[in-house]
Chain A
Amino acid sequence: MEHPELEQALGRLLGPAEPEVGCDACFEQLDRYVELEVAGADADAALPGLRAHFDGCPACREEHDSLLALVSGEHS
């Protein structure tokens, strides 16, 4: 595709096409999701809807990335 700026804007405007959880449900399950990721398990299969939410919600994605980095650092 030849319209990178437009495609990025469209992605932000339209959000994920897949079913997603809301911010509260995301926060409730975030600790479990991250521990599954650190353990190498399939977090997306165990807790569906979070990955799509991270695609649509930059704030929840940032907090996921931080928790993953913090917990991964403790395991390394």
Chain B
Amino acid sequence: MQVATRNEMGPASRAATVRRMKPLVSATLDAESREWIASLKATGAPRDEAIARLHALLLRAARFEVARRRPTLPHLRGGDLDDIANEAADDATMSVLRRLDDFRGASRFTTWAYKFALLEAAVKLRRRAWQGRELPLEPESWTLFASSGLEPDAEAEQSVLLRAVEQGIEDALTPHQRRVLVALALNGVPIDVLAERLGTNRNALYKTLHDARQKLRRHLDERGFSLDSWLEET
């Protein structure tokens, strides 16, 4: 996993990477992005006006995300959804202002800013959809993953693999890895929802999921299951 590799780098290498990754913003920025940055770093009325424009831009992005997800949220009314879009735009505006110095001009400023609004809206909508619901942290019946109507040979092959997967989850993983893998990969709990309930964040939880997947993959490899040939055909 690239994140782990980066963490293993020594201080000198890390410093060199930081120098490489921080080009002069003014050397690469398009005119519109340059105007955004200058206005948001100004003082007084020009800055206030720029923040209002930024909020309007991010509200548009948040409403775009809400509209995309609306079919999956039939229990939420239009007013609730617009409240969520406004909260997402508020939080995204704060995030963008807080991280303005991180913008390096790798994209247009508006594209960079949009992602904060889309993230805030998506996280809020996922959490709202699971509000008050108990999180399924144990495997559902393994028969859910079994195809029916197979020839006897194929059914036997399926049973052996299912048993090996079940055993790998039980034996090869820590209890925390097992809960995370089952909740996220089997039971469809959104990662932000689980992160909130466990008091962690998306990145840390995904690292746990990644480690669990690697262990399970090794467990099955060692028992002679040719996983990539199975998965390539999906």
Contact = CB atoms under 8 A, between A and B. Distances in A.
B207 interface: yes
B158 A7 contact: no
Contacts, number: 144
Chain A, interface SS category: helix
Interface in A45-71: 49, 56-59, 62-63, 66-67, 69-71
Dominant secondary structure of chain B at its interface with chain A: helix
B2 A19 contact: yes
Interface in B159-216: 161-162, 165, 169, 181, 185-186, 190-192, 202-203, 206-207, 209-210, 213, 216
Contact of A10 (B6, B64, B165, B206): B165
How many chain B residues sit at the interface, stated as a range, is: 35 or more
Interface of B: 1-3, 6, 61, 64-65, 68, 106-108, 111-112, 114-115, 118-119, 122, 126, 144-147, 150-151, 154, 158, 161-162, 165, 169, 181, 185-186, 190-192, 202-203, 206-207, 209-210, 213, 216-217, 220, 227-228, 230-231, 233-234
